[in-house]
């Protein structure tokens, strides 16, 4: 699985003009299940995101996790993280999991993250979404269970 994690001061996701998920400070987590991923990858990625120390401590160093700062996570599915741009100018997405499996793993990831004590809000899988965020830092981290 892949995730693009952004430390945010605030974030929200809208579907058809309706806010479906919103957080104050914390993380925006864009998630993509890849072909061949399973429960193990979703659980590993959730543990990694929950423990990721990208928030500043008293000394100004990135040394605190989401739970340590009382933050929340806005989790949004984004199959385009599977983009293959090696040939031509049109990205290919064949490395992404099939939609049914992608949705199942996305939901498992969200449940597992919540199980680590992180308040989780979600976008809507497979929908056209507008994601609004204020990136804090900016801090953006790429995670990939295959790496």
pLDDT digits (tens, 9 = 90+) for 29-73: 999 999 999 999 999 999 999 999 999 999 999 999 999 999 999
- Whether the CA torsion 147, 62, 116, 97 is positive or negative: it is negative
Cα–Cα distance for residue pair 77/70, rounded to 1 Å: 23
Identified catalytic residue from 6, 55, 79, 109: 79
Catalytic-residue membership of 55: no
Contact by Cβ (8 Å): 99, 50: no
Identified catalytic residue from 6, 55, 78, 109: 78
Look up the CATH number of domain 2-144.
3.50.80.10
Catalytic-residue membership of 6: no
Catalytic-residue membership of 78: yes
Cα–Cα distance for residue pair 137/131, rounded to 1 Å: 18
Q: Give residue limits of the domains in the chain.
A: 2-144
Identified catalytic residue from 6, 44, 55, 80: 80
The pLDDT value recorded for residue 147 is: 66
What is the average pLDDT across 13-29? 97
């Amino acid at each position: 699985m892949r995730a693009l994690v952004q430390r945010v001061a605030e974030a929200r996701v809208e579907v058809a003009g309706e806010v479906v998920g919103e957080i104050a400070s914390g993380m925006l987590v864009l998630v993509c299940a890849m072909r061949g991923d399973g429960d193990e990858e979703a659980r590993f990625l959730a543990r990694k995101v929950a423990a990721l120390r990208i928030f500043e401590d008293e000394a100004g160093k990135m040394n605190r996790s989401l739970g340590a700062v009382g933050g929340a996570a806005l989790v949004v599915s984004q199959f385009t993280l599977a983009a293959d741009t090696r040939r031509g100018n049109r990205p290919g997405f064949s490395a992404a999991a099939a939609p049914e499996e992608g949705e199942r793993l996305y939901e498992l990831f969200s449940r597992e993250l919540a199980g680590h004590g992180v308040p989780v809000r979600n976008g809507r899988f497979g929908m056209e979404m507008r994601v609004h965020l204020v990136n804090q830092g900016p801090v953006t981290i790429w995670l990939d269970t295959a790496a």
